[in-house]
Amino acid sequence: AQTVTQSQPEMSVQEAETVTLSCTYDTSESDYYLFWYKQPPSRQMILVIRQEAYKQQNATENRFSVNFQKAAKSFSLKISDSQLGDAAMYFCAYRLPLRNQGGKLIFGQGTELSVKP
């Protein structure tokens, strides 16, 4: 069975600093997709960044980047120049291709990030 583990229930970062959130996953598949979602207190789950397992290049979206280590099954999220609006619960998620379980999204337990001014 596929599992996603986020080992840091809470993290804190100073405004303008950099923080890295950890995520590991367990799978026997070679083809899959990884996502980071952000959920602020407003409740909406917002897609932050995604990575295809077949791509070696790490995905980046402005201040957000990932360190994808396929052999180690690790998918960490780096937030640079942290802003107060980055404070949220961050979920790492894993998804199989269509042929497996209809593309079901499997979430980690989440990391609550606080940003100090």
Partner 1 sequence: DTEVTQTPKHLVMGMTNKKSLKCEQHMGHRAMYWYKQKAKKPPELMFVYSYEKLSINESVPSRFSPECPNSSLLNLHLHALQPEDSALYLCASSRGINGNQPQHFGDGTRLSIL
Q: Please report, as ranges, the residues that interact with partner 1 according to CB under 8 A.
A: 31-33, 35, 37, 42-47, 50, 52, 89, 91, 95-98, 100-105, 107-110, 112
Nearer to partner 1, 15 or 31 (CB): 31
CA dist 24 and 12 (Å) reads 20
Between 74 and 89, whose beta carbon lies closer to partner 1?
A: 89
Task: Please give the structure tokens belonging to residue 11.
Answer: 């993290």
CB of 16 to partner 1, least distance (A): 27
Q: Is 108 exposed, middle or buried (0-12, 13-18, 19+ CB in 10 A)?
A: buried
Q: Which is nearer to partner 1, 43 or 71 (CB)?
A: 43
φ, ψ for residue 79, nearest 5 deg: -110, 120
